[in-house]
C-alpha cells in the first residue's frame, strides 16, 4: 500500500503502461488468454517504487487480459562508488553524493531500471 504522503510520478505511470503493453504482446504471442502474475525487479536508484508501479499497472490493465494480474517486483539495492575517494556506499535518497568526502561524482554499481523476468498466464 502507498503511504498517503508518497508522490506517484508520471514516470511510473508511463513505465507501468509500457510494461503492460509488453506483457500483453507476449500473452498474444504465446496464445495466453489471461495474465495472472508479472514478476520482475526494479532497482532502487530513482523515483520508481514497486508499489507505485503496481498501482499504475493495475489501473492501466483494466479491461485487458491482464486485469487483476499482480505485478510482483523485487526491489534491488544498487551501491555506488565515489570517483573522487574510491569509497563504496549506499546512495541516500537516490543521490550519488559520497558520505565520506561529499563529492557528487559517483558511479552506480550494478543494474539500474527495471526488468520483467517471468509471466504466469492461462
Pairing of strands 70-77, 35-44: parallel
> What pLDDT does 75 receive?
85
Q: Which domains does the chain have, with CATH numbers?
A: 10-121 (3.30.2320.80)
> What pLDDT does 12 receive?
86
pLDDT tens per residue across all 122 residues of the chain: 233 333 445 688 998 999 999 999 999 999 999 999 999 988 876 667 788 899 999 999 999 999 999 999 998 888 999 999 999 998 876 678 899 999 999 998 988 778 899 999 99
Amino acid at each position: 500500500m502507498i503511504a498517503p504522503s508518497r508522490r506517484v510520478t508520471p514516470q511510473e505511470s508511463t513505465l507501468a503502461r509500457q510494461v503492460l503493453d509488453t506483457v500483453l504482446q507476449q500473452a498474444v504471442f504465446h496464445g495466453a488468454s489471461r495474465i495472472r502474475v508479472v514478476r520482475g525487479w526494479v532497482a532502487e536508484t530513482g523515483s520508481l517504487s514497486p508499489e507505485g508501479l503496481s498501482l499504475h499497472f493495475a489501473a492501466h490493465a483494466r479491461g485487458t487480459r491482464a486485469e487483476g494480474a499482480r505485478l510482483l517486483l523485487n526491489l534491488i539495492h544498487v551501491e555506488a562508488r565515489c570517483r573522487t575517494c574510491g569509497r563504496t556506499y549506499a546512495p541516500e535518497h537516490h543521490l550519488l553524493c559520497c558520505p565520506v568526502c561529499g563529492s557528487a561524482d559517483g558511479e552506480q554499481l550494478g543494474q539500474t531500471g527495471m526488468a520483467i523476468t517471468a509471466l504466469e498466464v492461462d
